Structure formats: structure tokens, C-alpha cells
Chain A
Amino acid sequence: MTRNLFTLLVAIAFLAGCGRPDGESSRSVIQNKGSDTLVNVVQAWAEEYQMVKPDVAVAVTGGGSGTGIASLMNGTVDIANASRSIKDSERENLVANGNNPVEFVVGFDALAVFLHNDNPIQEISVEQLKAIYADGGELERWSQLGVTVPGCSSDEIIRISRQNNSGTYAYFREAVLDDEDFKLGSRDMHGSKDVVDLVANTACAIGYSGLAYASDEVHMPAVSSDGGETFVTPSVDTAIDGSYPIARPLLMYTANQPEGAVAEYLDWIMSNEAQCIIKEKGYAPAGPVECEASM
């Protein structure tokens, strides 16, 4: 009985070993990992590229800008996606290991401020955002901004933020808080979509995320960076023309000057076709594009 079982196991192992084809090498796989802000776009690119070049597969993973760049350092990915610039320490780490990282701007993203639909605020300045979010900022209650929010009887501003190594968090700190620290006690969500969902359910809340995550259940106030003289509504167009004050470049990094399949893929990303996909997903393309009016 025991011997029969053993023979069976050996046979199964043998068959499993035979099942693997040897012809994998003709098909190249590009490993692509990083920013959650970019993951939807990159996924769409990868799918479209499958049609353009069937012999190249692009494997996409999210996880955050920091994760992508960390994987680039470890040599496990070909391209890292990031919604913030590479840090000096990260660049040094790559250079120390004999690399020379190259940056590609693949698009732009407007960082929208989200409020509950019952919140009457339609305009907010960067200074006010800083006073809400930054350590030592004096804005704690909605009445200090001159509004009463229906359904928010405590009047408290519930700050919703991101976990401290997200690219969105880092960019918000750089652009809105002038690199000062965040006030402690914000609810730190683990994804852009979580921020929007929580704001939608919480009358007292304020949150921020990429424009592409906007939904009907929240509204986005216009933002001013000149002390309240002009307010600009976040949109793909205002991100392209640079008038929206908190818009950031979306980046891809390679460890060295790309070659072969990776270089071809990055070239394709800058093509009209690929840049129309990023526009369709709610981000601003890296340069002027002409797309069919699909939206």
C-alpha cells in the first residue's frame, strides 16, 4: 500500500515536470510596480500594449511609490511607477549599486481636495489647507472657516490623510504644507479610494487624493494659491495648463538608460495612443495630444 502510494507520487511529480514548455524565452516580460495613483492607468497601458506587441507582456503591481522604487533598488522590477520624485537617499542607494536612474514624466495629476456633499464650502485656499493639515495649524473647526456643515454637529474638522509613505502624502506635504509635518491625529487611509469612501460617509471630513478618484458622492472645492484671489477647479484641463496649484507629475523610473523591450514600451507610452488612455482615466497627459472624443 505504502509503496503504491509512493510510486504514484513519483509518477505525478514526473508528469508535472514534463508539462512545462521550454519555449518561454521568446516572450519577454516587463516587470512594472509602484504608485497606487498610477496603477489604473498602467494596467490599461499594459492591456493595450498586449495588442500592440503580443510578444511582450507587462506585469503590473501596485503597492505605492516607495514600494516601486524599493523594488527597483532590489532589482526585481524593470520600471518603477511613482507619484513623487525619487528621494535623494533612494537615488544615492541606486547609484551606489552601480546604477544610473532615469526619470520619465508620463503625465500629470491634479490633487483634488474632497469634501462631503453636504459641506457648503466651494472654495478653499492652500493657506487654509495648510492651517488644517499642518502641525500647529489653527483650523480645527468648520465654524472657523465660516460655515456650518449639516450633519456635523460636533463642528470638528475630521482630517483624512494617507499612510506616511504614499506618494500622494509626500506630494501633499511638499506642495501644501511647505514640507512641514502633518498634524498628528489624522485618519491615515491605505488607498486613494478609501479616502473618497470615508469622506463620502463622514459629514465632518476633508480628504485629498488624485482627481481620478473623484466620485458623485463627494465634491471638490476650487483651490487658490494666491491668498484667495483666483480659485481654480481641479480638472484635467487645469492640470494640463498648469493653472491648478496642486498638480504633480506622474513618473516612471528605470534603474539605467532603458534598452530593448523596456525602451520600446516607454516610447510607446509617450505616443498619442497611450497618452489618450491616461486622459481617459482622468489624468492629464504629458504633452498635447489629439484623442477621439470618447468621453
Chain B
Amino acid sequence: MSEKTLAPSQLDQRDASWYVDKLVQILMFVGGISAIIFIIGIFVFITKEGIAFLFEGFSFTEFFGSINWRPTSSNPTYGALALIVGTASVTGVAMLVAIPFSLGAAIYISEFATGRTKETLKVLVELLAAIPSVVWGFIGLSIMNEFIIEVFDVPIGLNVLNAGIILGLMAAPIMTTIAEDALKAVPDRFREAAEAMGATRWQIIRQVIMPAAKNGLVSAVLLGVGRGFGETMAVLMASGHAINIPTSPFDSVRALTATIAAELGETAQGSEHYGALFALGIFLFIITFIINLAADLVVRGIRKK
């Protein structure tokens, strides 16, 4: 063994591969912390743009208590209540659509499907997630609009129901993937033990696997809710974009994100309207942050057990 004869200084040689090693290490580190830097950067940026409005033109009761969003009126008012309710109602309907679909798909893929069926389904679900949101929006605008008018005999098909269904279908793939991971994480010995006790498949799924995977399933739903709050283009196109407190699923609404998207491009930088849109952005950021954090904490819950 020649290595034994090397002096300690020779062991610590800084040759080319040592530098490559260090360089890659630094690159990895930068990649790793960049997400944190970006998040903080984005938060600082939107706060900076919105802060002046929050201290000057902002009225808490108007923002959260009034539906009068009239930023270009001669007497501008910035009531975001209808926008918040709009976003919440669309997300609510979306979850009603997405939860049964995604849970059903996840249970089938994880517990029933085998071999090629399973692999094909997984790929297809992921493919569904890759459809651009503007395409979904177009489906809502052109196909779903007429379909809803025909079926329900309502005056206009661009409404909570339309946007909710579109958003539900958009959120379903990611929810399916996460829910399926959660079900897969349940150890096989649970299934074997239950089967040995003579439980039927339905009993196994309902009483053994679902409770065991509960945290993962909840976090799948929460991430779906987060997706619903943040989605812009499809909601802009399918919801009707009308400032309105919905009383039925057939009312048009307007979402927070859609308002920012539709108006920000044409407002003068630094104006009150510009600040108000950033205030909406701050609100949206906080909401999605809380939802994602909750989902993360719930997932952490499983690991600890």
C-alpha cells in the first residue's frame, strides 16, 4: 500500500478535482438557498410596492367590508370583499369537484391498479397537470359556457360553477399525485394484517389505509386549495369577471388574481390604483403562504409518528 507512505500535506492536495468538487458544492448550496432568497425577494418587492397604499389610501373596513371596487372612478374606492368572496367561492366549488376525483383516482392507482394500468394512469395524470391554464380557460370560455347555458337554462355560462369545475380539474392531478404518495407510504404490513383479520377491501381502505394516510390526504387537499387561490388565467376567462357577491353557483364573480392580471398592465406605476393592486397581492401572498405552511406542517405530522 503506497498510501501509507504519503505525508499529511500530500494528502491535502488541491488538484483540479478538488476545485471542481468545491465549485459544485457551492453551486449546490446556491441552488438550495435560492428558493428562500426568491421568496424573501418577492415578498419584499410586493410589500415595497403596496406599503405606501397600506399607509395612505388604505381603509381596513373598506378593503374587507365593501364590494365597491372602482379604482378608475372619479371618486375611487377599493373594496375587495367581492373579489375575496369570488376567489373563495370558486375555490370551494373546485374542491367539491376535485376531492372526489383525486381521492378516487389516488385510491384506484395505489390500491387496485397493477402493472401497466398503474403506470399508464400515473403518466396520464401527470400529463393532465401539464395542460396550460390558458387552454383550460379557453375550454371554460367556449365549451363550458354554452354547455352550462343549455343544461341549466341560465342566462350566462361564465360563472362560479364553470370556473369551479375548470379549476377543480386543474387542481385534481397534483392532488392525485400527492394523495397517491400518501397512500403508498402506508406500510404493506397494515394491509396484510387487516387482510389476515378477514377485512374486505373496502374495509381495509376506509378503516385502515385512509386513517393511516390522513395527514397526507389533508395536505393534498390544502395544496389544491392553494392552487385554487393562486390560479389566474383560467379563472379570469371562465368566471365572467364581474364584481358580485354570488348567491348561487350560476352567478358570475371576479377573483383576486384575475383583477390583478387584468388591471396591473394598464395602471401608472406608483399610482394609488397600482398600490391597491399590490395590496391585493400581499393579501393573496399571505393567504397562500398560510395554506402551504399548513399543508407542510400536516405532512410533517406524519413523519413524526
Whether A179 contacts B252 by the Cβ 8 Å rule is no
Any B CB within 8 A of the CB of A107: no
Q: Which residues of B contact A73 (CB under 8 A)?
A: 268
The 7 closest A-B pairs by CB, nearest first: A66-B266, A165-B266, A204-B155, A185-B244, A184-B243, A164-B72, A64-B266
Q: Considering the chains assembled together, what is the distance between the CA atoms of A186 and B241 in angstroms? A: 8
Whether B68 contacts A70 by the Cβ 8 Å rule is no
CB distance from A69 to the nearest CB of B (A): 8
Whether B236 contacts A190 by the Cβ 8 Å rule is yes
Residues of B259-275 contacting chain A, CB below 8 A: 262-263, 265-269, 271
Interface SS majority for chain B: loop
Q: Considering the chains assembled together, what is the distance between the CA atoms of A63 and B271 in angstroms? A: 18
Whether B241 contacts A70 by the Cβ 8 Å rule is no
CB distance from B32 to the nearest CB of A (A): 22
Q: Which residues of B contact A74 (CB under 8 A)?
A: 269
Q: Mark A184-197, 1 if CB is under 8 A from B, else 0.
A: 11111110000000
Q: Which residues of A contact B70 (CB under 8 A)?
A: 164, 181-182
Any B CB within 8 A of the CB of A201: yes
Any A CB within 8 A of the CB of B154: yes
Any B CB within 8 A of the CB of A269: no
Any A CB within 8 A of the CB of B145: yes
Q: Chain B: residues with CB nearer than 8 A to chain A?
A: 20, 67-74, 82, 145-146, 149, 153-158, 236, 240-244, 252, 254, 262-263, 265-269, 271
Any B CB within 8 A of the CB of A198: yes
Q: Which residues of B contact A188 (CB under 8 A)?
A: 241-243, 254, 262
Whether B269 contacts A70 by the Cβ 8 Å rule is yes
Task: List the one stretch of A44-52, A152-160, A221-229 in contact with chain B.
Answer: A152-160
Q: Considering the chains assembled together, what is the distance between the CA atoms of A76 and B149 in angstroms? A: 45
Q: Chain A: residues with CB nearer than 8 A to chain B?
A: 2, 63-67, 70, 73-74, 89-90, 93, 152-154, 156, 158, 163-166, 169-170, 179, 181-182, 184-190, 198, 201-205
A-B contact pairs, 12 of them (CB 8 A): A63-B266, A64-B265, A64-B266, A67-B266, A156-B155, A164-B70, A181-B70, A181-B73, A185-B252, A188-B243, A198-B158, A204-B156
Whether B266 contacts A70 by the Cβ 8 Å rule is yes
Q: Considering the chains assembled together, what is the distance between the CA atoms of A90 and B241 in angstroms? A: 27
Query: Known contacts A158-B155, A203-B155: does B72 contact A170 (CB below 8 Å)?
Result: yes
Whether B263 contacts A186 by the Cβ 8 Å rule is no
Which of A70, A93, A182, A205 has the most C-beta atoms of chain B within 10 angstroms of its own C-beta? A70
Whether B156 contacts A165 by the Cβ 8 Å rule is no
Residue from B72, B236, B268 within 8 A of A93 (CB atoms): B268
Nearest CB in chain B to that of A159: its residue: B242
Nearest CB in chain B to that of A185: its residue: B244
